[in-house]
Structure 1
Amino acid sequence: MIYGRCAACKSQRRRCPSDCIFSPYFPPNDPQKFASVHRIYGGSNVGKMLQQLPHCVREQAANTLYLEAQCRIQDPVYGCVGIISKLYQQIHETEVELAKIQTQIAYYKFQNQQFEAESNLSSLAPQGNNMEMEHFQWPSQALNYSN
């Protein structure tokens, strides 16, 4: 139970009734919360909104109204949408960066597989014979060149 007037009743300089719609959500020790909401939405409108909601979601609604009011005060043009747009932009930039990195990883894996295949082929070549493949001649070729 909150003793004294809630922040809304203090702000509006009125007596706080026992069934005040604002008192559970705008305590007297946080007057800025109600001041922000009042500045953007108006006290009467906030009261109407809270009365239309079920009791179980009123606290969440009051906190959301406060958050949105703070965003609107900081950025009068875009408010919360500005923050959401910036976050979407960051997500998009991160996805692009991730795609580039995944492409680089695939490229390096492909290069590594080619290198391993080449090293496996070179390990299969005959070791004791110093004769290189480009100097090898079939006996029939050797006869043609001797003529």
Structure 2
Amino acid sequence: MASSSYSNPPCAACKFLRRKCLPSCTFAPYFPPEEPTKFANVHKIFGASNVSKLLNEIPPHQREDAVNSLAYEAEARLKDPVYGCVGAISVLQRQVLHLQKELDATNADLMLYASNEVSHSYPLLSNPTFMRINAQYNGGEPNPRYASPWNNGSLNENSNTTNANGSM
């Protein structure tokens, strides 16, 4: 069996650049051979030379985060060449504002319903349209206890409705 002087596959950067991957390769820890598109995108947007310079200027404990940021920005730039990450951030901020307004409106509704439930008052009783509909279902007289068009006055003590047995 022929022995190989090379035991590890080249990193994605060296494979893309078609060069020998040395043990001191700057890219190897951050661009593994299993992720070739990660380096291809970063190279297309920033260039290998600029990425190499950047990695050499950054402290070693911050390099992985920097490479992940470069990869994210490169992917965003390929999707949206004009705005890149800023476009994605703007869309997300608009969604957050819309959802915050929706949440505020829902919380206000909940507070309104909770306060009505506690005080047992029904704000619909003072609504003129609702009072007219309620009067129509209650024989011309509005039901002061509970204004609901579907109960047909069943909560009114002197209602003339019949029960299931046919008695009053």
Indicate whether the TM-score tops 0.5. yes
Question: Which of 109, 132, 153 is the aligned partner of 1:104?
Answer: 109
Deviation readout 1:26-66 (Å, 9 max, x if unpaired) = 12222111100000000000000111111111112111111
User: How much is the aligned-residue C-alpha RMSD, in angstroms?
Assistant: 1.9
Bigger Rg, structure 1 or 2: 1
TM-score (structure 2 length as normaliser): 0.63
CA–CA distance in structure 2, aligned partners of residues 112 and 28 of structure 1: 63
User: Aligned residues: percent identity?
Assistant: 45
TM-score (structure 1 length as normaliser): 0.71
Determine whether 1:83 maps to 2:88.
yes
CA–CA distance in structure 2, aligned partners of residues 42 and 114 of structure 1: 68
Question: Which of 4, 8, 12 is the aligned partner of 2:9?
Answer: 4
* Structure 2 unaligned regions, length at least 5: 1-6, 122-168
Compute the displacement of 1:107 (Å): 2.0
Determine whether 1:92 maps to 2:61.
no
CA–CA distance in structure 1, aligned partners of residues 47 and 58 of structure 2: 17
Compute the displacement of 1:4 (Å): 3.1
Question: Which of 39, 55, 61 is the aligned partner of 1:56?
Answer: 61
| 3-state SS in 1 of match to 2:120 | helix
- Higher relative contact order (Cα pairs below 8 Å, separated by 6+ residues): 1
CA–CA distance in structure 2, aligned partners of residues 80 and 42 of structure 1: 18
Determine whether 1:72 maps to 2:77.
yes
AA matched with 1:98: L
CA–CA distance in structure 2, aligned partners of residues 29 and 87 of structure 1: 30
Q: In proportion to residue count, which structure has more helix?
A: 1
* Structure 1 unaligned regions, length at least 5: 117-147
The list of structure 1 runs, each at least 4 consecutive aligned residues, that deviate by more than 6 angstroms after superposition, is none
